[in-house]
Amino acid sequence: MRIGLLGTGNVARALAFGWKGAGHDVVLGSRRPGEREGLGFPVAGLGETAAQAEVLVNATPGNVSVELLRSIGEEALADRLLVDVGVGLSDDYTRLSHPNDSLGEQIQAAFPRTPVVKTLCTMDSTAMVDPGALDGPSTVFLSGDDAEAKRTTGRLLADLGWPASSQLDIGGIVTARGQEHFAFLFMGIAGGLGAHTFNIKVVPRKA
């Protein structure tokens, strides 16, 4: 599958390595592709990346994601799965840029013909692509309104090492706000552990 990752930061590069290792064809999208060479992957402009990809992944800073996607255009994004892993935080990490909803919801509202699935935003980039290195199984969440888009996303998660037993569909795109608002608990746990590479596991009551 041809996967276009919008962004060239740590998260985008980690996911690109993970999916490339699983046999996918990946390209990174940047506003300034000429300045982002030597990353180990092809880098193209945002519009060119969207045009090439079967699946797009938003790994841009959450406080500018909608603006960047609008620069690509609604027609270019229509009928294409967009996996959103972004979280919008203020520069001092004390506030969400979408405190009353979520970035995932705002993207879906801005691009109604683009099925959006929120996932992977409750962990750091190392855990995203190497869940087997954690001390036991953990949980990755999926939020979205399109069932087929979530099934495709689930297969892509499996390619990163997330078995179906670790994937939890928590509902429509409105539930993305729960994933994104976890950011503050994530930072608290990281402070308590003294490390950022960890994840949580949903443990249901015994049957």
pLDDT score at 170: 98
**Architecture of the CATH domain 2-193:** 3-Layer(aba) Sandwich (3.40)
Residues 34/40/45/48 CA torsion (nearest 10 deg): 140
| pLDDT classification of 98: cutoffs 50, 70, 90 | confident
pLDDT score at 38: 80
| pLDDT classification of 32: cutoffs 50, 70, 90 | confident
Report helix, strand or coil for 132.
Answer: helix
- 119 is written with which tokens? 């996932």
* Statement: residue 132 has pLDDT above 90: yes
* Statement: residue 40 has pLDDT above 90: no
Q: How far apart are CA 3 and CA 50, in angstroms?
A: 9
H/E element holding 43? strand 43-45
* Statement: residue 92 has pLDDT above 90: no
pLDDT score at 57: 98
| pLDDT classification of 33: cutoffs 50, 70, 90 | confident
pLDDT score at 150: 98
| pLDDT classification of 34: cutoffs 50, 70, 90 | confident
Q: What is the pTM of this model?
A: 0.96
Q: Give me the residue spans of the domains in the chain.
A: 2-193
Mean of pLDDT values over 89-106:
90
| Strands lying side by side in the sheet with 25-30 | 43-45, 25-30, 2-6, 55-58, 81-84, 116-119, 140-144, 167-171
> Which positions ≥6 away from 87 have C-beta within 8 Å?
62, 96, 103, 121, 180, 183
Q: How far apart are CA 97 and CA 85, in angstroms?
A: 15
| pLDDT classification of 107: cutoffs 50, 70, 90 | very high
pLDDT in tens, 52-79: 999 999 999 999 999 999 999 999 999 9
**CA distance from start to end of the chain:** 39
pLDDT score at 149: 98
